[in-house]
Structure 1
Amino acid sequence: MPREFGRLFTHMLPAIESKKTEFHLYGYTTVTEEDIWTFCVKKKWRKKNIEEMGMHEIADGILKITSAEFMTFTQIEEQRSSNWFSDLNSEELQILLSPRQIEK
């Protein structure tokens, strides 16, 4: 993350903390400030040049995040990063991925 993002994060911390508190009230108690910022950078502003955005636009974007869009993003990111077969050893993985032989 570029240094400017860290500076923006610090400036936007009151808005981010407000959004985190809102999510906690909805029962999403594991959401952190970093999670909200990551959502904004990776999803909400992915096609924008954040360095050219006004502070009011950034704060408004943070405060308008809905729990539904945030949780959808979080679930998709989790699915992308998880390794569903990590508990299998190589033999078990080979059995799982090899074609089944049909018995006659």
Structure 2
Amino acid sequence: MNQQMKDLYTHMFPALESKKNEFHFYGYSVVTEKGLWDYLVEKKWKRKDIAAMRPHEIVQDLFKLSPAQFMTYTQTEAQRNSSAFPELSEEERAILFSPRKAD
């Protein structure tokens, strides 16, 4: 994580902590601030210029996040990074876990 992203993470930490506490209230006790941040950066904002985003846009995306969206992401990432499919090559695994556009 570069310095600009670290600063943004630090600035957004209270909102991340609030969302983490909400998830904990609903029984998702393994959720962390870092995990929420990773979801936003790697999934939600994958194609966005994060540095150009305004703070209220970041908080809005965070507060709209549902437990189902987050847990789907974490489960997919766990499967993608595991050795659950030892017979697949890295290329085949990338094809399996990358979203496809409808023809």
Question: Shorter-chain TM-score category?
Answer: 0.7 to 0.9
Percent of matched pairs sharing the same residue: 50
Aligned length: 86
Aligned equivalent of 2:16: 16
Matched, 1:70 2:70: yes
Q: Following TM superposition, by how much is the alpha carbon of 1:24 offset from its aligned partner in structure 2, in angstroms?
A: 0.4
Aligned equivalent of 1:36: 36
Bigger Rg, structure 1 or 2: 1
Separation in 2 of the partners of 1:84 and 1:70?
Answer: 21
Q: Following TM superposition, by how much is the alpha carbon of 1:85 offset from its aligned partner in structure 2, in angstroms?
A: 7.0
Q: Following TM superposition, by how much is the alpha carbon of 1:7 offset from its aligned partner in structure 2, in angstroms?
A: 0.5
Q: Which runs of 5+ in 2 are unaligned?
A: 87-103
TM superposition score normalised by structure 2 = 0.79
Letter in 1 for 2:35: D
Q: Which runs of 5+ in 1 are unaligned?
A: 87-104
Aligned equivalent of 1:89: none
Separation in 2 of the partners of 1:62 and 1:15?
Answer: 8
Letter in 2 for 1:60: Q
The 1:74/1:85 distance shift into structure 2, 3 A limit, reads closer
Counterparts of 1:1-104 in structure 2 under 5 Å?
1-84=1-84
Separation in 2 of the partners of 1:60 and 1:85?
Answer: 36
RMSD: 1.3
TM superposition score normalised by structure 1 = 0.78
Runs of 4+ in 1 over 3 A off after TM superposition: none
Aligned equivalent of 1:98: none
Separation in 2 of the partners of 1:30 and 1:70?
Answer: 11
Letter in 2 for 1:54: R
